[in-house]
Structure 1
């Protein structure tokens, strides 16, 4: 049952009293002077492997606290980007996730587990998809910008994101419950129970979440409950954490989490008449913000995750020896309908009952996924079905100083072992037409992909404190990397199995000078390295050397330079941080827009060519230049405000990329229409499958800059309760998106979230009403350069079909909600 909209409108009216805003590391502002003082106090981070004030770290670090997650109703990992400027997070309803920061992007379908932004859970490296789920019982999140690797985990060129879960309290029993419901049929409940088993020595914490929502909130026009269902995203997870501290020199922690998720999502469309102005030829006419799809079945996804992390610290004579280990596994599956242009829709093709069948000896992946998700469609739809079982384990040991050597030096020295296994099976269903309205054969192509990688590295970092003002730091990491990959398509190997071995050394160096307690300047330089990409998705049975060069890349290297300052003022009531940076890349992994290429596939026992599309990768030279700033101020004891700004201009310089170049001018075509096979073969040239062009332009499609603002004010309602109003405003400027597509430019927009409610002065309960995207701002964020189309295979060749719809994505519509949080004992 939906929440009353009158209640939600009342919440928007109350909450509009606040000044909107955002903060970098804004800590909880209670309804008391003591609580508000937390904002002006130090934020403690572990960016350099030891606890220290955020204002002492000579690099840009963004912090999102547990209180901020609760206050801003951050329900999933992607929502973090609303409070961290310059960070773009995206994830499909299945298992593909990506992150962009400092002008360069990470896409796991291009880079696998070799990220531009490395992810950590409880200090252990973890694949990004494990974090792109519901957020619950999180202690703190830190984004460390710039090259990382000489202090923790793996090398990463753009930064790292660390997430820590809450640890048990050893002294007090406690319980926390958090419930949210919205008018968009989204419901989330999470809880945590804290139990000291042996006081001050052993404790456990049990936490869990149930999250049920409509995902991207796009519905099919054919939704009837039988052939097409309503979209959904359901997540269930449970986590157990143990903390053991028998002495003051020994401590250990262990965490286990299991998560199950299922989802069904549709691709949003817009009628061509709204794009070109020509009359619509295919009913119904669908507007950009109707949030509708023409698909029958959409994409069904399911995943099961298990995560183990553990660590131990042994302290002796002013030193600490640490060990961090992890093991995680993921069983993931998806069924993605391949008829996005809706060619096989009734009345052209009647609805028929059919079953998924594979040739003898091949795993029936589609049938298996249908059984797993309870969704074997009975209409005339054809799928790409994927099933994978990923595993990762890591072990890291470190020796570090807790007390300075000779009163001057801090150090960290250690080693890492990280191993990934990522086997997957995929089945492509390709209908072969006997006539334009009758399927003569369903061609099933099993694709078996295997891959694993092992990284071993050693690292060391030394910091010298010269007097009270000057600090010099430097570090090295030596990396040995080995990987194996293979692909079998339709029983054949289009490319040989690949075993690669690399070794590399990276470095960082920094200097900071503190003029006084309130003002510090710093400069850093650092390098990074990551293995070349092996892009997934091109399953051509006859790839050419040129084509292969666009999905199998050499290693990427980069060097970054950064200068900055950190200042406090008005007795630390205010804070201002500023950084400027430049980073130069060789063989940057660039994944461009989809281009048309000639794809050879098995068709009725014969390998035949057809037109296909794929977004290939390329190793290109690139440079990023940018600036980042944050400011916060405690205006009054119970009124705070903070703002952030991030600008990053990532540019590719004369890179050779795959392209659609039908006119042969060496420049990527803009808004290229679906070509015939003959047209494409003539354009790519004899013996080739894809065109190549020299390209200079943006390294990502993300906006160059964005800014946000956050504010909160508290006031007394009664002796037993305080009131509050808070706001969050994000601004994104005009953005050109894909340079080869003139139809997806985005006009600048502002998003305003408002919150109001009451809470106990001691924080034991809070009730809040919220409105996200208060003014229901509407923007098309992406649009295809041409209508949805398909190259349909026949017994003699292929035919082109162009629909009357464009694929698009839009901003999430306005959402009203209510949240109740109760905390008893330890939090």
Structure 2
């Protein structure tokens, strides 16, 4: 029995016809649908075949279908019903299709035939009906009452380079940069980021196929992707981990999508291969998709010192997806994936030193009388100022470090999704396990002196389980569920810290073991009130428990296991979070909304167990953010132009902000080194975050597509509550601090121009992309010029060629960072105690040529 369909078209985000009778993907099916209104024909097709269809009601309004009566493959049968409608079917699952407006085909039956344009969709319907899952169900982007950026796999291919940096350009409002300490990308949305050190929770969580990635050592997948969605603002109800900044939703391709192979070559001896194949046999009960990826590239930063060049690429990954849909309401999807990297890692380029008045008048540990002969001696080889002068003369593409760099990573995961659909009730279970292993060696000061070096081995496992029930009806929709997460170390966790190493100050080895659990329950409901209004209310209650033990000993040292680590500190925190919103869709393709949300980041425990003086700061409380967002989304057109507009105005209030402090050894004065923390996190104040996010996309016939988007963000601390004991470790005046990794503005312009569209010449499309960022601080101290990046712009351009009569073949040429802009994409070590500071720079101009063949 198919799901009931609402007739209130202006109030619906999308119409899903979910059939309960199963159909094997490749098996022929029988259908008998009479000619008539297209909507009725699609309903009959779904009921007879068991194939799921997703489309906007406005897209089929007023259209007719010629009907059909045959036994054929699912996709061929659907094409018959859509003939002459101007719509095409895009496969989104093993037995599911989304209907979107069709683009004219390049392929022709004979050279003399002229290509006929597809019938123009009804005015006001956007040509690109983008589907998103911001509310854990498929909806059109224009109908979602939240600020969401959808990034296609094609967008990521164009921007290329580092996946995190490509997201920074493609999804405005998201700052993505490398994280020096644990090789996990730093993701910042609306000024929200994790503390600069320690093990605080993330402000932006990444979900792959609905399962959250671990805090540390995670890798963002970059191959065989369906789409990436960026949710801006606190996510406190529907998603497994509570966040204050937003969420990244990454969906990989499921069985049933096209098979393909893509190969690329380019600058720095780039060699990249990506392939995916649908291996489903005819009539097989299980649909199978196998995808693989390989990448090699020489280092972009020449290393004159120890080890190889930095910023190289040497990666391999594989993913196996299995979809099972037997007779009955139960279906399953299992995704197994593995990733390996053997690289030198990001280059931390020496960029400054301390003292740096007026904020920092001290010179750090490297300028003390005991350390000066080794780091401040006035002679090359033992003087950081001379090393800095030489680095500035070399520029940002050459470095000289004394620690051979290494970044070997391993990520394995398994995600099992079970669905039960019976009548109007849907049950979904998502079970996932991920293991992240990191072996790295990082010279974070970027100099030939042992000022700040980190050699790390991390091995973590994370298990998550979510169970969710949902339903829809004529008057609204609801969903409720439970979420559980457990994170634990696997084997020895070891970090060697070499900070201002002298004969009297040897390197230290730290063994730290952290465990965490999170349990949450949630309920969310939307109800249509009439006159185009919809009310949404959601509530979640989360309980987090964490523990940590830590031992620091002088290097070299034998491994210390978790069992021998000693007593672990423990913290527990809990809090309610919510969503309350009102949406109006009284006009076609127009959405107005107002929403308030609360999100929070879990509290935690500092390590090791502190002595009496610092005991009050052993644990820290959750950080919360409450916001109000007003938004508008509209799509329309005039003549040959079609437009889509998105706008969101927001203001948030953050409380109990988690900040990292760096006390010196024996700060507590008890003479016991075992209880001295290398850093500690405290709750230290409040802040406001306000901003505006704008987007426009315009399309003229099928030849020209333009887009413009911009974000404005103003974030400031309104109060700092620092205990007198710790006042010497941080500014206490809110005007003395600034939000890091949060530019005041960003803007992006893109253009796609179809230069040639001819039966004999094929289709040639020229594209351009311009990204502009305001100045970015990678340091919080207001008057510290170290860690500052001035406003910068990045341009890219390319050409895509589809040969005549070859719908299956695409050739591309891409030039990225066209004008070879030098800019810092992230901060390295920017701590006064270390004396030297470093930055991580974006990639230089690169050229790539690629070919993609679809099968």
Give the TM interval when normalised to the shorter protein: 0.7 to 0.9
| C-alpha spacing 1:73/1:445, structure 2 compared with 1 (3 Å) | closer
Could you tell which deviates more after superposition, 612-621 or 240-249? 612-621
Report the alpha carbon displacement of residue 625 of structure 1 after superposing the two structures with TM.
Answer: 0.6
What corresponds to 2:799 in structure 1?
756
| Structure 2 CA distance for aligned equivalents of residues 781 and 503 of structure 1 | 35
Of residues 750, 754, 761, the one that matches 1:710 is 750
| C-alpha spacing 1:772/1:783, structure 2 compared with 1 (3 Å) | same
1:428 aligns with 2:496: yes
1:822 aligns with 2:834: no
Report the alpha carbon displacement of residue 782 of structure 1 after superposing the two structures with TM.
Answer: 7.1
1:127 aligns with 2:127: no
Of residues 577, 583, 589, the one that matches 2:658 is 589
1:251 aligns with 2:331: yes
| Structure 1 CA distance for aligned equivalents of residues 101 and 840 of structure 2 | 33
Report the alpha carbon displacement of residue 607 of structure 1 after superposing the two structures with TM.
Answer: 6.4
| Structure 2 CA distance for aligned equivalents of residues 586 and 476 of structure 1 | 19
| Structure 1 CA distance for aligned equivalents of residues 584 and 126 of structure 2 | 25
Q: Compute the TM-score of the two structures, normalised by the length of structure 2.
A: 0.73
Structure 2 alignment gaps of length 5 or more:
1-99, 107-116, 358-377, 380-384, 554-559
Structure 1 alignment gaps of length 5 or more:
1-25, 345-380, 434-438, 659-665, 667-683, 791-801
Contact 1:494–1:542 (Cα < 8 Å) also in 2: no
- 1:21-60 alignment runs, 5 A limit: 40-60=127-147
What corresponds to 2:25 in structure 1?
none
Contact 2:332–2:419 (Cα < 8 Å) also in 1: yes
Contact 1:195–1:203 (Cα < 8 Å) also in 2: yes
Contact 2:265–2:849 (Cα < 8 Å) also in 1: yes
Deviations 1:503-532 (A, max 9, x none): 321111111111311322110011122222
| Structure 1 CA distance for aligned equivalents of residues 696 and 444 of structure 2 | 48
1:235 aligns with 2:279: no
What corresponds to 2:26 in structure 1?
none
Deviations 1:482-519 (A, max 9, x none): 22222122389999632222332111111111131132
Report the alpha carbon displacement of residue 244 of structure 1 after superposing the two structures with TM.
Answer: 1.3
Contact 1:269–1:292 (Cα < 8 Å) also in 2: no
What corresponds to 1:509 in structure 2?
580
1:479 aligns with 2:559: no
Of residues 177, 186, 189, the one that matches 2:261 is 177
What corresponds to 1:388 in structure 2?
458
| C-alpha spacing 1:103/1:719, structure 2 compared with 1 (3 Å) | same
| Structure 2 CA distance for aligned equivalents of residues 117 and 482 of structure 1 | 20
Report the alpha carbon displacement of residue 713 of structure 1 after superposing the two structures with TM.
Answer: 1.4
1:329 aligns with 2:435: yes
What corresponds to 2:697 in structure 1?
632
Contact 1:87–1:99 (Cα < 8 Å) also in 2: yes
1:222 aligns with 2:305: yes
| Structure 2 CA distance for aligned equivalents of residues 743 and 230 of structure 1 | 22
| C-alpha spacing 1:819/1:77, structure 2 compared with 1 (3 Å) | same
Contact 1:77–1:131 (Cα < 8 Å) also in 2: no
| Structure 2 CA distance for aligned equivalents of residues 732 and 338 of structure 1 | 25
| Structure 1 CA distance for aligned equivalents of residues 310 and 147 of structure 2 | 43
What corresponds to 1:155 in structure 2?
242
| Structure 1 CA distance for aligned equivalents of residues 244 and 349 of structure 2 | 34
Report the alpha carbon displacement of residue 296 of structure 1 after superposing the two structures with TM.
Answer: 2.1
Contact 2:689–2:713 (Cα < 8 Å) also in 1: yes
| Structure 1 CA distance for aligned equivalents of residues 272 and 678 of structure 2 | 38
Deviations 1:243-290 (A, max 9, x none): 1122463321100001111221442135989x99x9985685643634
- 1:8-23 alignment runs, 5 A limit: none
1:641 aligns with 2:706: yes
Report the alpha carbon displacement of residue 134 of structure 1 after superposing the two structures with TM.
Answer: 5.3
Deviations 1:772-816 (A, max 9, x none): 1111123456789999996xxxxxxxxxxx7xx863443421111
SS of the equivalent of 1:142 reads strand
What corresponds to 1:20 in structure 2?
none
SS of the equivalent of 2:134 reads coil
SS of the equivalent of 2:664 reads strand
Contact 2:439–2:457 (Cα < 8 Å) also in 1: yes
SS of the equivalent of 1:187 reads strand
Q: Compute the TM-score of the two structures, normalised by the length of structure 1.
A: 0.75
1:260 aligns with 2:340: yes
SS of the equivalent of 1:68 reads helix
| Structure 2 CA distance for aligned equivalents of residues 732 and 339 of structure 1 | 26
What corresponds to 1:195 in structure 2?
279
Report the alpha carbon displacement of residue 179 of structure 1 after superposing the two structures with TM.
Answer: 1.6
What corresponds to 1:777 in structure 2?
821
Q: Cα RMSD over matched residues?
A: 3.9
Q: Is the strand fraction higher in 1 or 2?
A: 1
Report the alpha carbon displacement of residue 53 of structure 1 after superposing the two structures with TM.
Answer: 0.9
Of residues 714, 726, 738, the one that matches 1:698 is 738
Structure scoring higher RCO (CA < 8 A, sep ≥ 6) equals 1
Contact 1:96–1:129 (Cα < 8 Å) also in 2: yes
Report the alpha carbon displacement of residue 56 of structure 1 after superposing the two structures with TM.
Answer: 0.8
Contact 1:134–1:235 (Cα < 8 Å) also in 2: no
Contact 1:429–1:443 (Cα < 8 Å) also in 2: no
- 1:226-375 alignment runs, 5 A limit: 232-247=312-327, 249-265=329-345, 266-269=347-350, 281=386, 284=390, 286-287=392-393, 289-337=395-443, 341-343=447-449
Could you tell which deviates more after superposition, 713-722 or 631-640? 713-722
SS of the equivalent of 1:246 reads coil
